[in-house]
Structure 1
Amino acid sequence: METDSIEANGGCAVDLRRIRRLRCSVKDYDWGRTGSDSLVARLHSTNSGAQIDSTRPYAELWMGTHGSGPSYLADGSNGMTLKSWISENPKSLGNRVLEKWGCDLPFLFKVLSVAKPLSIQAHPDKESAKKLHKARPDLYKDDNHKPEMALAITEFEALCGFIPLQELKGVLRDVPEIEELVGTEEANQVLSISEQHTEEVKSVLQTIFTLLMSAGADSTKEIISKMKQRLCMESKERQLTDKERLVLRLEKQYPDDIGVISAFFFNYVKLNPGEALYLGANEPHAYLSGESIEIMATSDNVVRAGLTSKLRDIQTLCSMLTYKQGFPEILKGSNVGAYITRYLPPFDEFEIDLCDLPQGESTVFSCVSGPSLVLVVQGEGKLSAGASTDDIVAGDVLFAPADTEIHLESSSDLKLYRAGVNSRFLYS
């Protein structure tokens, strides 16, 4: 059933299909890009009217309803949050979304500007999230899971998931410092195991990874120093691998951190602009550099274990991981309309459409039976929905209720992203 276009709200008529401009929250974590070098800073400045602080690390722009970084209506609604407006106008979500997730957006939309690694981390599944939130609400802010997807705006680097078994065996042979840290017996277990024994491989990987991440500070410092000296010497005789060069770079950014040496266990992923990486619950990862769009289930639960100055929860992280091995799938998107590419991960909560609209062209985001957030990152143009037409520029963020058809025209090369509920869920 279509969303009603007009709904009574406190005696007032509310047009549920009207596009609503948002003012969004910014995060200044120390890994963010500084000042106007940060896309997050430039977008937030336009979005909020705030001046850019040249000394501030602008890391994340948050768009959505999460309490840690809420968006507000920008149309004179006296500081009303988007979440409050949705609570008063639940039909704006569409029936399927409302039935499954209640009166809230099921996704959180972000822009990331990454100058140095965020942390080696994973996000808990729903069951674990409920337990962690109950035990440590100060640390784990909500009880939701957090599958996510990163879509590269610039070249974007990440560590993601465990390398295949054969590659791991090569690491143990080529990086003797790891054996020193975890013990010869444990290293030999990995070297002698067969790929056919899937569950045993996972068990052995969990054992050796937990030993590595749990190493004492003094041992870690000594081993990293030894590894650094060895690689610097070997670089005079041979060309270092991409992973070895990365590890030396990480050591400069996070000296004596166990995350430096544990990077050898993870896939090193380099995304080109327009490529996307998705991550399920309990998968280890660390974003390293670049700028990206990020979307996830509405949660801020992060379990950290390395490459960070924040609180680490190593035992929780090591116990919750899937220990799945292999290179992650890279999404390149599929065409769903004129100048529109869709990225569709295997999660109900979200998808992303990228619209790259040349100057003087037009296109349409067709009606979908769920809500959307639209972010303009480049250019100028016009956005029309129903009887209303708005000028749009980089930094604009808009909420589109369910069953809203959006028409776009560009007056200069226009790039924008639409975050919405996964189409497979909406139309299954």
Structure 2
Amino acid sequence: MAKSKPIATLRCAVKNYEWGPIGEGSHVARLAERNSGEDLDLARPYAEFWMGTHPSGPSYVAADGDAVSLKDWIRANPAVLGDKVPDKWGPDLPFLFKVLSVAKALSIQAHPDKKLAELLHKSRPDIYKDANHKPEMAVAITEFKALCGFVTAEEVKDVLATIPEVRELIGIEENGSGLIGVKDYHSCRSNPTENGNGFANKANGNGLSIEENGNGAVVGEESKTYLKSIFTTLMSASQDAVSNAIQKLKSRLNDENKIRSLTEKEQLILMLEQQYPGDVGVVSAFFFNYVKLCPGEALYIGANEPHAYIYGECIECMATSDNVVRAGLTPKFRDVPALCSMLTYKQGFPEILRGVPLNKNVYRYTPPFEEFEVDRCSLLPDEAVTFSPVPGPSIFLVLSGTASIKIDSLNGLETFSEGDVFFLSAHTEANITNAAAAMLVLFRAGVNERFFD
């Protein structure tokens, strides 16, 4: 194979998961059609567009008239990764870059940390195909809705006080003085304690019974212990009990909708019930933060944090892995014990990233993971921007518009339009100009700049 140029055009993979929009209604479909040159199947859903080296959806490079996988191309041209990346990750990209189009809620899920990923992969390689962790970040390109992380202790208390169907599933009774007990506290500590302004914890035969004393909530580690117990009890409930509770919940909310406006969370619950009737994920959504991102806003999700994408389109970047532990809102394999035991049970609304401006055209999203970062670039007609050399590889996606690109070491210009994806080698400067009358929007994924520091 001849020595590579510092820039290479990629042909990328598409995933037709059932939660994607059908045919032309999907941005993923439009990108895939332009990227591959193949006609759309207007009857199929188009959910994800993958850019990278993951074996479940590898990208390809046209080299010497033949198409070779990006990973094989990198092996033949290791200098494209720079000096430091191969020492840590070998002849591979440490990040996987995607576009997601979501028409139906994805599963309630979490991604294991490295240690757990190795254990899951060893025990069930048919289900958990990677031994790597999968921290990820989503950057909204339309309004994007998701469930992410657990609500605060105060909000948990409110759910238990106001949602009788949840109390029924968990086994919490109510009397005139408040909420008393969970029938089975198998995951709680057995030492009774009492905090001065929250719940009083009273030992029972199964572990802890927790009684509200009137003016507070569980805090700190006690809050996590309590949340883990009630969440595990909920997710482990029998299918008959779940179906019965959801039917009661649906009927009650539909009746109340005639006399009051339902909250956004209640409206979401009814929508999820239509998509996944009788699924425990419908009621578990009460315990998660409901997040709405505007275009350009981003959400990062660390290991062992629960989440579920609900609706919209986004750019997604993650460590190179496809490990997912699911427990609700899915027809796929569910591993409730693994999910409930692995979660951090951290509570509170997640941090929303809005990007840091590198200049007036480029915003950078830098999550606390060394494998990746993402740049968002927008250019008006005839505007130009320079992407300075970085010590690692990059993948660029033209989301809309047409780009004219000049690489200093090459003669002439490269032209890329919507759906085009290109790989840029380490230590390569790219001068990009909007070559059309419409707005140019492109995204870049690369190794996190902090890794090189």
- TM-score, normalised to structure 2, is 0.89
1:177 corresponding residue in structure 2: 165
Q: CA deviation at 1:74?
A: 3.0
1:408 corresponding residue in structure 2: 432
Contact kept? 1:21, 1:75, Cα under 8 Å? no
Percent of residue pairs bearing the same amino acid type: 57
Single out whichever of 195-204 and 285-294 deviates more from structure 2: 195-204
CA distance in 1, matches of 2:211, 2:280: 20
1:186 maps to 2:186: no
The correspondence for 2:67, drawn from 79, 90, 104, is 79
Q: CA deviation at 1:163?
A: 0.2
CA distance in 1, matches of 2:265, 2:230: 20
Q: CA deviation at 1:337?
A: 2.4
Single out whichever of 406-415 and 106-115 deviates more from structure 2: 406-415
Q: Which runs of 5+ in 1 are unaligned?
A: 1-9
The correspondence for 2:269, drawn from 244, 247, 252, is 247
Q: CA deviation at 1:191?
A: 4.5
Single out whichever of 206-215 and 334-343 deviates more from structure 2: 334-343
1:304 maps to 2:326: yes
Q: Which runs of 5+ in 2 are unaligned?
A: 173-180, 184-208
Deviations 1:245-290 (A, max 9, x none): 0000100011000000000000000000000000000000000000
1:151 maps to 2:139: yes
2:192 corresponding residue in structure 1: none
CA distance in 1, matches of 2:11, 2:228: 44
SS at match of 1:66: coil
CA distance in 2, matches of 1:275, 1:101: 29
2:197 corresponding residue in structure 1: none
2:107 corresponding residue in structure 1: 119
CA distance in 2, matches of 1:312, 1:89: 41
SS at match of 2:258: coil
The correspondence for 1:276, drawn from 298, 307, 316, is 298
Q: 1:286 to 1:77 in 2, by over 3 A?
A: farther
Deviations 1:281-337 (A, max 9, x none): 000000000000000000000000001111111111101000000000000001102
1:367 corresponding residue in structure 2: 389
1:38 corresponding residue in structure 2: 26
Q: How many residues align?
A: 415
The one-letter code matched in structure 2 to 1:240 is: L
1:28 maps to 2:16: yes
Equivalent runs, 1:130-169 vs 2, <5 Å:
130-169=118-157
1:417 maps to 2:446: no
Equivalent runs, 1:3-402 vs 2, <5 Å:
12=2, 14-15=3-4, 18-184=6-172, 185-186=181-182, 189=210, 191=212, 197-386=219-408, 387-388=410-411, 389-402=413-426
SS at match of 1:65: coil
Contact kept? 1:42, 1:395, Cα under 8 Å? yes
Q: CA deviation at 1:75?
A: 4.4
CA distance in 2, matches of 1:28, 1:384: 35
CA distance in 2, matches of 1:367, 1:381: 18
Coordinate RMSD, CA, aligned: 1.5
The one-letter code matched in structure 1 to 2:414 is: D
Single out whichever of 231-240 and 391-400 deviates more from structure 2: 231-240
Contact kept? 1:274, 1:332, Cα under 8 Å? yes
CA radius of gyration, larger in: 2
Contact kept? 2:363, 2:376, Cα under 8 Å? yes
Contact kept? 2:153, 2:219, Cα under 8 Å? no
CA distance in 2, matches of 1:98, 1:337: 30
Q: CA deviation at 1:77?
A: 4.8
Single out whichever of 145-154 and 227-236 deviates more from structure 2: 227-236
CA distance in 2, matches of 1:89, 1:211: 53
Single out whichever of 372-381 and 77-86 deviates more from structure 2: 77-86
Q: CA deviation at 1:94?
A: 1.2
Single out whichever of 251-260 and 78-87 deviates more from structure 2: 78-87
The one-letter code matched in structure 2 to 1:189 is: I
CA distance in 1, matches of 2:75, 2:225: 46
Contact kept? 2:157, 2:217, Cα under 8 Å? no
The one-letter code matched in structure 1 to 2:113 is: D
Q: CA deviation at 1:380?
A: 1.0
Deviations 1:46-100 (A, max 9, x none): 0001101111000000000000000000345522100011112222111121112
CA distance in 2, matches of 1:168, 1:77: 60
Going by fraction, where is helix more abundant, 1 or 2? 1
